[in-house]
Amino acid sequence: MSRRRAEALKLATEIAVPIAIVLVWEAWARSADSQFWPPPSTIAQEFRDLWLFAQFRSDVIPSLMRILFGFAIGSAIGVAVGLPLGLSLWARKFAMPHVEYWRAMPPPALLPISVILLHSIGNLQKITFIAFFCTFPVLLNTIDGVRALDPTLVDTARAYGVPVRERIRRIVLPAAFPQISAGMRTSLSLAVIVMVVAEYFSSTSGVGYVLLISKNTFQLVPMWAAIVLIGVIGYLLNLAYMMVEHRLLAWHRGWRAATPL
Partner 1 sequence: MTTAQEAKAESLRTAPRVTMSPRIVNALVVAGSVAFALLLWELVSRSGLVREQDLPTMTATVGELGSLARTGAFWSAFLHTVRGWALGLGIAILLAVPIGVGLGLSDFAGRAFRVPVEFLRPIPSAALIPLLFLTLGTTLESEVFLAAFGAFWPILVQTMYGVRDVDPVTIDTARSFGVPRRDRLWRITLPGAVPYIATGIRIASAVALILAFTAELFMGTPGLGMMLNYAQSYGLTTQLYALAIATGVLGICTHIAFTAIERRALRWHPSQRLGAA
Partner 2 sequence: MLEIRGLAKTYGSGDTVVQALRDITFSIGEGELVCVVGPSGCGKTTLLKCIAGLLRPSRGEVVLHGSPVTSPPEEMAVVFQEYNRSLMPWSTVRNNVLLPLRHKSLAKAERTRLVEEALAAVGLTRFIDHYPWQLSGGMQQRVAIARALAYQPLILLMDEPFASVDAQTRGDLEDLVLRVHEEFGITILFVTHDIDESVYLSHRIVVLTHAPTVVKEIVGVDLPTPRDQLETKELPEFAHLRAYVYRLIKRDRSAPSGVDAPSTLVGEGLLD
Strand extents, DSSP E, 73-222: none
Q: Which amino acid is at 237?
A: L
| Ranges within 136-165 binding partner 2 (CB under 8 A) | 150, 152-153, 155-163
Residue placing its CB nearer to partner 1 in the complex, 174 or 231:
231
Binding mask 169-188 toward partner 1 (x if CB under 8 A, else -) reads --------------------
Q: Which amino acid is at 187?
A: S
Q: How far apart are CA 240 and CA 258, in angstroms?
A: 27
Find which of partner 1, partner 2, none residue 163 binds, CB within 5 to 8 Å per kind.
partner 2
Name the nearest CA neighbour of 198 among 212, 186, 215: 212
| Ranges within 209-248 binding partner 1 (CB under 8 A) | 211-212, 214-215, 218, 220, 223-224, 226-227, 230-231, 234-235, 238
Q: How many C-beta atoms lie closer than 10 Å to residue 231's C-beta?
A: 11
Q: Quick one: which of 97, 161, 163, 260 contacts partner 1 (CB under 8 A)? A: 97
Minimum distance of partner 1 from residue 173's CB (angstroms): 27
Minimum distance of partner 2 from residue 53's CB (angstroms): 44
Q: Is residue 174 near partner 2 by the rule CB under 8 A? A: yes
Q: How many C-beta atoms lie closer than 10 Å to residue 186's C-beta?
A: 15
Q: How far apart are CA 157 and CA 166, in angstroms?
A: 9
Q: Is residue 246 near partner 2 by the rule CB under 8 A? A: no
Q: Quick one: which of 52, 88, 112, 124 contacts partner 1 (CB under 8 A)? A: 112
State whether the Cα torsion 22-28-31-35 is positive or negative: negative
Q: Quick one: which of 28, 94, 251, 255 contacts partner 1 (CB under 8 A)? A: 94
Let me know the angle formed at the C-alpha of 226 by 244 and 35, rounded to the nearest 5 degrees.
Answer: 150
Name the nearest CA neighbour of 194 among 99, 63, 101: 63
Q: How far apart are CA 157 and CA 178, in angstroms?
A: 20
| Ranges within 2-61 binding partner 1 (CB under 8 A) | 9-11, 13-14, 17-18, 21, 36
Query: Which residues of this protein are in contact with partner 2, per CB under 8 A?
Result: 150, 152-153, 155-163, 166, 170-171, 174-175, 177, 251-252, 254-255, 257-259
